[in-house]
Amino acid sequence: MCVREMKQIPVVSLDKINKSFPLAIGGEQQVLFDINIDIQPGEFVAIMGPSGSGKSTCMNIIGALDAATSGIYKLYGRDITTMTADELANVRNEYIGFVFQNFNLLPKRNILDNVMLPLMYRGLPMSERISRAKEMLKFVGLDKFETYFPTQLSGGMKQRVAIARALAGDPKIILADEPTGALDSKMGNEILKFFKKLNKDLGITIIMITHEFDIASYADRIIHIYDGRIVYDGPVPKSESVLMRAEQKAHKK
C-alpha cells in the first residue's frame, strides 16, 4: 500500500460510547447514547449542544478524566478503556492540554510557576522547565508578566496563561471546555483567534466545547449533541437553523 492510501490513525476514536450516572434515588440516568466520533490529527472540532446535553460528560471521557460505561475509546490508536489510573494520568499528561472555562490557575503561584506545572512530571531539569515555560509565555504574548499572580491579570490574559500551560507539555490535543464562557465577547474572540492560530500554524488538534453557534463557527467541524446523541456531524453550516432542525428531527423520533 502506498503512503497516500494509508489511513491516518485518528487522534480520538470513540466507538459506541455510552455513559450512565447512578441516581441518588436508585437506578441510573443514561447521559450519552452510542456516541461515535473519529477526530483526525490537525482537526479543529467544536462539540456543541444545549445545556445538559452531555458535552462535558463527553469531554471528560475524551480527556481520560472519566471512563465510559460501555464502548471503546482509543486515543492515538491505544485502547485506554482498560488502563489503570496511573496509566491514564500518564496518557493525559503526554497527549492532552486542558483549557477550562474558569482558567483553573493556582492563585498563590505566579504565572511562570503556573505554566511550569505540567512539566513537573516529565523528569526535566529545572532549567529546562523554566526555559520551556518562558517560551510558552512569550508565545501567548505574556512574557512581561512572568512574576505576576493570576489575580493581577484580566480574564483574557488568564486564559492565555492557561493556554500557555496547556501547550507547555507539547500536547497532541488541546481540549477546551467553554474556554470563552467567562470572558466578554472581545476577549472571547481574541482567544478563539488564538486557537485558530495554534491549529493552523502548529497543527495542534483542537476540541472545543461550547453551547454557542457563533463560537463553534471558529472550528472547521461541528459535532452537535442533543439529549446525549449526535444529531449533526459535519462542516460548519451557513446557519444555526440547520442544527436546530437536526435537534427537532431527533426529538420527533
Ligand X SMILES: Nc1ncnc2c1ncn2[C@@H]1O[C@H](COP(=O)(O)OP(=O)(O)OP(=O)(O)O)[C@@H](O)[C@H]1O
Q: Which one of Mg ion, ligand X, none is in contact with 121 (Cβ closer than 5 to 8 A by kind)? A: none
By CB under 6 A, residue 31 contacts ligand X: yes
Give the DSSP per-residue string, 150-179: GGGS-HHHHHHHHHHHHHHT--SEEEEEST
User: Which of the residues 43 through 62 are near Mg ion (CB under 5 A)?
Assistant: 56
Instruction: Provide the minimum distance between the beta carbon of 4 and ligand X in the complex, in angstroms, as a whole number.
Output: 38
Kindly state whether residue 49 participates in binding ligand X, applying the rule CB under 6 A.
yes
Our CB check for ligand X shows the closer of 139 and 232 to be: 232
How is residue 171 written as a grid cell? 500536547
User: How far is residue 62's CA from residue 221's CA, in Å, rounded to a whole number?
Assistant: 17
Distances (CA, A) of 66 to 15, 52, 183, 201: 16, 17, 27, 31
Which residue from 44, 46, 49 is spatially nearest to 31, judged by alpha carbons?
A: 49
Task: Name the grid cell of 143.
Answer: 512574557
**C-alpha cell of 6?**
494509508
> With CB under 5 A, what is the number of residues at the site for Mg ion?
1
Q: Which of Mg ion, ligand X, none interacts with 54 (beta carbon under 5 to 8 A by kind)?
A: ligand X
- The reply to whether 74 sits near ligand X by the rule CB under 6 A is no
Give the separation between CA 206 and CA 128, rounded to whole angstroms. 26
The span of 50-58, 153-161, 162-170, 233-241 binding ligand X (CB under 6 A) equals 50-58
Which is nearer to ligand X, 56 or 114 (by Cβ)? 56
Residues 167-206: x where in contact with ligand X by CB under 6 A, - otherwise, as a string: ----------------------------------------
| Contact of 59 with 19, CB cutoff 8 Å | no
63 scored as a contact of ligand X (CB under 6 A): no
Using CB under 6 A, list all residues that contact ligand X: 21, 31, 49, 51-57, 211
Interface ranges with Mg ion (CB under 5 A): 56
